[in-house]
Amino acid sequence: MIKLTDLLKEVDDKPTCPIATQNVAVNLKNRQIAIDRYGYGPLNPNNPNIKFWKEKAEAWKLDTMEEAKSARCNSCAAFNITQRILNCIEKGLAAGEKEVPVQEQEIDSAPEEETTNTEQDAWDTIEAGKLGYCTMHKFKCAGSRTCNSWVTGGPVKDK
């Protein structure tokens, strides 16, 4: 079984940027997997998203949606916002996340998911700012979203 501490160490030990911060196709693929398998969302965290938060509260066996809303990426132990990772994200965005060689170990082995340009634009627009890197599902995630894999104790920051 892979431990979260091992995943975090893996990111810290690597001198290069995670591939998903530099390659939009990899990022979209891994994000779609997080949406489909782990309930990553909601699309627009600024909306009430009652159905979304109600389902999370039920899944986590919580009393209220407010409790579920307190468990977001920005407080997850897999959410990496160290300066090194933020520099990687900035570098990738500045370069337009050009296609770069993909290392197999950086990509989940799930089948390719279709993401339309419109969907991509919506997610990316809403994601502007407050981004970090999810070391568990290997994609750039927004601090105000969440997923079923949320782990207490984050985010990962510089000491």
Q: Which residues bind ligand SF4 (CB under 6 A)?
A: 34, 40, 73, 76, 78-79, 134, 136-137, 141, 146-147, 149-150
Closer of 19 and 134 to ligand SF4 (Cβ): 134
12 contact partners, CB below 8 Å, separation of at least 6: 82
Closer of 92 and 132 to ligand SF4 (Cβ): 132
Give the shortest CB-55-to-ligand SF4 separation in angstroms.
15
Give the shortest CB-10-to-ligand SF4 separation in angstroms.
14
Closer of 40 and 97 to ligand SF4 (Cβ): 40
Closer of 24 and 35 to ligand SF4 (Cβ): 35
Q: Work out the widest C-alpha separation in the chain, in whole angstroms.
A: 46
Q: Are 80 and 133 in contact (CB under 8 A)?
A: yes
Comparing CA positions, the residue from 36, 13, 66, 1 lying closest to residue 139 is 36
The residue type found at 147 is C
Give the shortest CB-22-to-ligand SF4 separation in angstroms.
18
- Phi/psi for 104 (5° steps) reads -55, -40
